[in-house]
């Protein structure tokens, strides 16, 4: 298949708009930027289109998709029981990086919902994402635009690497802003429960709802995962990833020793700027300052992908605090490290 690439400014052109609409109507896939990461879009009402997402991503069929809408009020068409809490959250955080899980009216195929009775919905704030959904005139499934198991795409070049020749259109929107996927919050349970941490933090949600909510973002032993996506290994570079949790000095010392012991291998450190300034090694990649977790989030996935591009064997990453956005960063890092966390 030949993939056509457009820039975000091309979307002003009538013929480009027509082409995007035509492709989505005809069950083709269109990759577009969102404020979180790039999404691979298909008509959520077409089983044929949605199945293509699973096949090109190599995504397990029990991992449901998030349905993207261009306006919050469309949510009432597809779900039952929009609670007061839901309305407060939609008001406060939509459009934006918060996905809400509702009871489904059953309009979406089980292919979309992974056979669940619930459906995850988000209204993105990115101008291009909104435009694509509006043009299509239908809800759009848009999981992260990466081959399953790889870090989500935050750069146009990553999308091209994974999907050139496999989708009909890719829209180049440059680097994505937030760099981590949306927060997923389950509203079908008595107490709202975070299933995936993201830019919209537990504190931010509790503040607007004025109640305490639950974090259930890791698979618990013996229990079925609340969110099917939780159980899959994710974001993992080919090299061996070690996360290190200790004091600043201990962490520096530990990493420095590993770099020495493994000097016959290709090693890299991905770390906050403060650590980079104190470490000696061939490949020390700065993620951003500890005072600016937003920049660490933005740089995370592209740095993980860089590890594969550089054929790195051993990757060392200092843990960050679980506070605020740190929770989302640590959630992705633990998956990238396959839970390999050294506590000093």
Q: Which stretch binds ligand AMP (CB under 6 A): 16-24, 118-126, 131-139, 279-287?
A: 118-126
- What mask of x and - would describe binding to Mg ion in positions 11 to 50, judged by CB under 5 A? ----------------------------------------
Nearer to ligand AMP, 102 or 314 (CB): 102
- What mask of x and - would describe binding to ligand AMP in positions 155 to 184, judged by CB under 6 A? --------------------------x--x
**Number of C-beta neighbours around residue 221 at 10 A:** 5
Tell which one of 43, 118, 144, 193 touches Mg ion (CB under 5 A).
Answer: 144
Tell which one of 65, 205, 270, 296 touches ligand AMP (CB under 6 A).
Answer: 65
Q: Which residues pair with 74 in a beta bridge?
A: none
For the chain, the first-to-last Cα distance in angstroms comes to 51
Cβ proximity of 232 and 333 under 8 Å? no
User: Does residue number 331 form part of the binding site for Mg ion (CB under 5 A)?
Assistant: no
Q: What is the CA radius of gyration of the chain?
A: 20
| H/E segment holding residue 30 | strand 30-32
Tell which one of 30, 31, 120, 293 touches ligand AMP (CB under 6 A).
Answer: 120
Nearer to ligand AMP, 187 or 271 (CB): 187
Where would I find the H helices in 210-292? 248-261, 273-276
Name the residue with the smallest CB distance to ligand AMP.
229
Cβ proximity of 331 and 340 under 8 Å? no
CB of 256 to Mg ion, least distance (A): 34
Touching ligand AMP, residues 194-223 (CB under 6 A): 195-196
- The sign of the dihedral angle between the CA atoms of 310, 314, 320, 322 is positive
CB of 227 to ligand AMP, least distance (A): 3
HSE, CB side, 13 Å, CA atoms: give it for residue 45: 13
CB of 39 to ligand AMP, least distance (A): 8
Distance CA 58, CA 41 (A): 15
Q: What angle do CA 269, 147, 104 make, to 5 degrees?
A: 115
CA dihedral 142, 143, 147, 152 (to 10 degrees): 110
The SS3 assignment for 317 reads strand
Q: Which stretch binds ligand AMP (CB under 6 A): 13-21, 112-120, 272-280, 288-296?
A: 112-120
Touching ligand AMP, residues 128-157 (CB under 6 A): 143-144
CB of 244 to Mg ion, least distance (A): 26
How many chain residues interact with ligand AMP (CB under 6 A)?
19
Q: Take residue 268 and report the two structure tokens written for it.
A: 């890299």
- The sign of the dihedral angle between the CA atoms of 191, 194, 340, 255 is negative
Tell which one of 50, 100, 119, 138 touches ligand AMP (CB under 6 A).
Answer: 119
Residues forming the site for ligand AMP (CB under 6 A) = 63-66, 101, 113, 116, 118-120, 143-144, 181, 184, 195-196, 227-229
């Amino acid at each position: 298949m030949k993939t056509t690439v457009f820039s975000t400014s091309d979307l002003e052109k009538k013929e480009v708009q027509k082409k995007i609409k035509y492709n989505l109507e005809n069950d083709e896939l269109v990759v577009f930027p969102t404020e979180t990461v790039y999404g691979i879009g298909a008509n959520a009402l077409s089983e044929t289109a949605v199945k293509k997402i699973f096949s090109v991503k190599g995504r397990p069929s029990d991992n449901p998709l998030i349905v993207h809408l261009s306006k919050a009020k469309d949510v009432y068409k597809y779900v039952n029981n929009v609670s007061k809490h839901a309305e407060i959250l939609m008001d406060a955080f939509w459009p934006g990086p918060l996905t809400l899980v509702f009871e489904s009216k059953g309009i979406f195929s089980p292919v979309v919902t992974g056979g669940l009775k619930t459906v995850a919905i988000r209204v993105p704030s990115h101008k291009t994402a909104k435009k694509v959904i509006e043009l299509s005139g239908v809800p759009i499934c848009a999981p992260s635009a990466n081959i399953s198991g790889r870090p989500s795409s935050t750069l146009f070049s990553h999308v091209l690497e994974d999907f050139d020749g496999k989708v009909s259109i890719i829209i180049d929107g440059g680097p994505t802003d937030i760099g981590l996927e949306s927060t997923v919050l389950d509203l079908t349970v008595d107490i709202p429960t975070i299933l995936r941490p993201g830019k919209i933090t537990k504190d931010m949600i509790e503040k607007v709802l004025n109640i305490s909510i639950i974090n259930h973002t890791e698979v618990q032993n013996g229990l079925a995962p609340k969110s099917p996506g939780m159980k899959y290994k994710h974001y993992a570079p080919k090299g061996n990833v070690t996360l290190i949790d200790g004091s600043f000095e201990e962490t520096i010392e530990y990493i420095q020793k590993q770099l020495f012991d493994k000097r016959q291998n290709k090693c890299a450190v991905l770390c906050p700027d403060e650590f980079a300034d104190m470490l000696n090694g061939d490949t020390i990649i700065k993620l951003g300052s500890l005072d600016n977790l937003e920049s660490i989030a933005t740089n995370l996935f592209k740095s993980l992908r860089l590890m594969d591009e550089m054929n790195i064997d051993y990757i060392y990453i200092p843990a960050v605090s679980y506070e605020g956005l740190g929770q989302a960063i640590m959630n992705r890092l633990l998956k990238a490290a396959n839970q390999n966390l050294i506590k000093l």
